[in-house]
Amino acid sequence: MNDRAVGILDKYDIEVLRTRKGRSAILCETKQGLKIIKEYKGTKEKADLQNALLARIKQEESIDVEMILPNKDGELLTTDIDQTVYVVKDYFDGRECNIKEPEECRRVMTALAKLHKSMCIPESELESDFSVYKIEQEFDKHNRELRKIRKYIRAKGQKTDFEIFLLQHYDLFMDKAIAVTEEVKEHNFSDYYEKIKEKGTFCHGDYQHHNILFSGRRTAIINFEKCILDSNVRDIALFMRKLLEKNAWEKEIGYDLLNTYEKEKPLEMEERLQLYYRLAYPEKFWKIVNFYYNSSKAWIPGRHMEKLEALLVQEHARDDFLTTILKYN
């Protein structure tokens, strides 16, 4: 981030003591506490929504969340001389969650459940119209991309070892992607989506360990820029998938995560089904293929092959996990 971004602090009623660079941001120690400057790519309406949600979450005293600070003009977004838009937010002095520690993962799931209980703004109170996110639309988009990339590889003359290996296993994952998508459509979540919109059920949108900070017994959750009107299961699935992929889809780990969440906020049947479909869709395969397609073809890293081989090794365990832990419970 450009160091000139620090200049926007003149537009805020805060007294800066010192600054230092963070991950795509600038951290500021101020007399009003730790703050962070970040570029903002969204709309004013999304920033207003984000702060309205955060204000509600703050009523939950056991978790800490950021707030976007208004500038001297009362605006959440501040533009510098280069017309770059920034936000200044609260920040927390803590360390990221260690996903190798089971107890810390339980803390993460408990915090998530408490977050979800607070993260609602009824449709009647929303100042702007936000559409409900629908997983079948995302799956359809992914499927179109997978077909396009398969066609591209097949049409290539000289193929790399990775591309040959990829084509050998493409149908396995493509068939699963199509089957999951069709099953979601057949189930028809229309009533469930209407319920989400009416209740104004939002989720964090990027609930992973980088956005969860521990300071003693306190848990802080940051980076709500991707908050979205969607099933709470979106957050659960993201965190669970990343953790389970690193642990060969170990059933005990999955059960422990779900059980911890449900002690605070039990899942409804539609939510459990949503979780099943989100984890059943071969998203890891789509990510590998999509990353390959959008990167340089002149040199394909060996890491691509390693990830695909690891994915194949875990596929039976993933199917077993989905059947025994989710679909029939």
Residues 233, 276 contacting (CB under 8 angstroms): no
Q: Which CATH superfamily is domain 102-327 in?
A: Aminoglycoside phosphotransferase (APH), C-terminal lobe (3.90.1200.10)
Decide if 3-91 and 102-327 have a common fold: no
* pLDDT given for residue 329 in this prediction: 47
* pLDDT given for residue 298 in this prediction: 63
Mean local confidence (pLDDT), 254-267: 96
Cα distances from 193 to residues 132, 187, 188, 279, in angstroms, run: 7, 12, 10, 19
* pLDDT given for residue 184 in this prediction: 96
* pLDDT given for residue 301 in this prediction: 67
Reference 109, options 278, 227, 277, 232; nearest CA is 232
User: Mind listing the pLDDT tens digit for each residue in 5-16?
Assistant: 778 889 999 988
Q: Which CATH superfamily is domain 3-91 in?
A: Phosphorylase Kinase; domain 1 (3.30.200.20)
User: Mind listing the pLDDT tens digit for each residue in 281-306?
Assistant: 999 999 999 999 998 766 666 788 99
- Averaged pLDDT score across all residues of the chain: 91
User: What DSSP letter does each residue of 197-265 carry, written as one string?
Assistant: HHHTBEE-S--SGGGEEEETTEEEE---TT-EES-THHHHHHHHHHHHHTTTT-HHHHHHHHHHHHHHS
Mean local confidence (pLDDT), 306-323: 93
Q: What does the buried/exposed string (b/e) look like for 23-50 if buried means 16 or more CB atoms within 10 Å of the residue's CB?
A: eebbbbebeeeebbbbebeeeeebbbbb
Burial class of residue 124, CB neighbours in 10 A (0-12, 13-18, 19+): exposed
* pLDDT given for residue 216 in this prediction: 86
Domain ranges of the chain: 3-91, 102-327
User: At which residue do the structure tokens 């089904």 appear?
Assistant: 273
Confidence of residue 217 (pLDDT cuts 50, 70, 90): confident
